[in-house]
Amino acid sequence: MTSAAIYGCHGHRLTAEEKAFFADARPWGFILFRRNVDSPDQLRALTDELRDCIGGDANTPVLIDQEGGRVQRMGPPHWPKYPPGATFLKATNDPLAARELARLGGRLMAHELKDVGINVDCAPVLDVPVPGAHDIIGDRAYARDPETVAQLGRAVAEGLLAGGVLPVIKHMPGHGRAFADTHKELPTVHADLEALDGWDFAPFKALSDMPIGMTAHIVFTAIDRKHPATQSKKAIRMIRERLGFNGLLLSDDLVMNALSGSLTERAEKSLKAGCDLVIHWNGVLDEMRQVAEGTGKLKGGAKRRAEAALARIVHTPEPLDYREARDRFDAMLAGQLDAAKGPDVAEA
């Protein structure tokens, strides 16, 4: 029976201990990081190995954070470097051209991810920074206003979906006001509900049709003064009802210092609050065993949402001439090509 968890692994290949743990724990999926990435052949072998140890289903989710900029797990020399989200609008200075560029970037990423067996990308970032906010989001944000963030975020998501990779919208209900890094401490946001609704929530409302979302480890005093959104029933009800998100909801990483208590307690609290799945991504086996103690079976609404998300994977990707599309993407970034005159990716 599948458990409500997503785990990382330690290195380039699985150890015998990891294989035995995964076979017993039966996670819904896996997540990879730079420590797991060496070459295309190695990465394909690893994703095959991960799937094989829990039954060999080709649809088993394998996730990665491939945004571009500071957050890009697959990069040179085997894969091209992508710019941070803020670059799309800066490179074109034209919202229509920026959307084409963002979609093309998503489509190219999907091609590269699918080639090595990865079918879920933890992107796009839909957070909208405010002046003075911590730089943990910074240039990862597509713009500094909710409408443009929503437009460019949807373009990236559509590019990923067209290439057979599921996007994950993050970090719900919004990370843009955080004045601290959740990897290190728990931020508290004091904005009132009206301000949150008009700014932070807006891009997530606009993309509420996406298959998967990820929570933020942030306290929003207007919603719940005691608990970060990941572990707040009130915040997750807000995500479901006010933001209109009915997709699969993942926790952000349980290891982050924004959360407190044992890893078992962190998993239990997140799932009890309404997260469908929890993520533990550092690959430390003893820690994964602790998470497993607090993680039950994937069932009920969570299971239905997980099945619905996987049903969104396109198994015959939109046609792509990769080399032509890559050259066009690079030229658009360099300002050498009018995006409006470029052929649509679907026709390439």
Position 347 pLDDT exceeds 90: no
> For 83-114, b where at least 16 C-beta lie within 10 A, e where not — what string?
bbbbbbbebbeeeebbbbbbbbbbbbbbbbbb
Position 345 pLDDT exceeds 50: no
Tokens matching residue 241: 């009802």
Q: Average the pLDDT over 11-28 and give the result.
A: 98
Please give the C-alpha separations between residue 53 and each of 10, 43, 128, in angstroms, as whole numbers: 15, 16, 39
| pLDDT tens-digit map of 294-307 | 999 999 999 999 99
Q: Average the pLDDT over 24-36 and give the result.
A: 98
Owner of token pair 């993942």: 250
Position 342 pLDDT exceeds 50: no
Q: Average the pLDDT over 219-243 and give the result.
A: 98
- Of the candidates 57, 183, 321, 338, the residue annotated as catalytic is 183
**88 conformational bin, left if phi > 0, alpha if psi -120 to 50, beta if neither:** alpha
Q: What distance lies between CA 174 and its chain's CA centroid?
A: 13
Nearest CA among 275, 294, 280 for reference residue 215: 275
Nearest CA among 269, 274, 273 for reference residue 259: 269
DSSP single-letter state for residue 85: T
Question: Is 252 a residue of the active site?
Answer: yes
Residue 132 is predicted with a pLDDT of 84
- Provide CB contacts within 8 A for 279, sequence distance 6+: 5, 6, 31, 214, 250, 251, 252, 253, 254
Of all residues in the chain, the percent with pLDDT exceeding 70 is: 96
Which SS3 state, helix, strand or coil, does residue 218 take? coil
Residue 346 is predicted with a pLDDT of 34
Owner of token pair 């065993």: 289
Residue 229 is predicted with a pLDDT of 98
Position 114 pLDDT exceeds 80: yes
Residue 181 is predicted with a pLDDT of 81
> For 50-73, b where at least 16 C-beta lie within 10 A, e where not — what string?
bbebbeeeeebbbbbbbbbbeebb
Tell me which H or E stretch contains 4. Answer: strand 3-7
Nearest CA among 39, 38, 63 for reference residue 50: 63
CA 290, 296, 301: angle at the middle one, nearest 5?
A: 140
112 — pLDDT class (breaks 50, 70, 90): very high
CB atoms near residue 8 (< 10 Å): 22
Beta-bridge partners for 72: 66
Q: Average the pLDDT over 66-91 and give the result.
A: 96
Average of per-residue pLDDT values in the chain: 94
- Of the candidates 252, 253, 276, 280, the residue annotated as catalytic is 252
Residue 337 is predicted with a pLDDT of 47
189 — pLDDT class (breaks 50, 70, 90): very high
Position 77 pLDDT exceeds 90: yes
| pLDDT tens-digit map of 117-131 | 999 999 999 999 999
The alpha carbon torsion through 203, 208, 214, 215 (nearest 10 deg) reads: 70
The alpha carbon torsion through 61, 62, 67, 68 (nearest 10 deg) reads: -150
Q: Where are the beta strands (DSSP E) in 62-161?
A: 62-64, 66-68, 71-72, 120-121
Position 105 pLDDT exceeds 80: yes
Nearest CA among 224, 214, 144, 231 for reference residue 188: 224
- Say which range, 59-63, 92-96, 128-132, 148-152, has the weakest mean pLDDT: 92-96
| pLDDT tens-digit map of 241-289 | 999 999 999 999 999 999 999 999 999 999 999 999 999 999 999 999 9
Tokens matching residue 314: 């396109």
> Are the C-beta atoms of residues 255 and 280 closer than 8 Å to each other?
yes
336 — pLDDT class (breaks 50, 70, 90): low
Position 174 pLDDT exceeds 70: yes
Residue 298 is predicted with a pLDDT of 98
Position 341 pLDDT exceeds 60: no
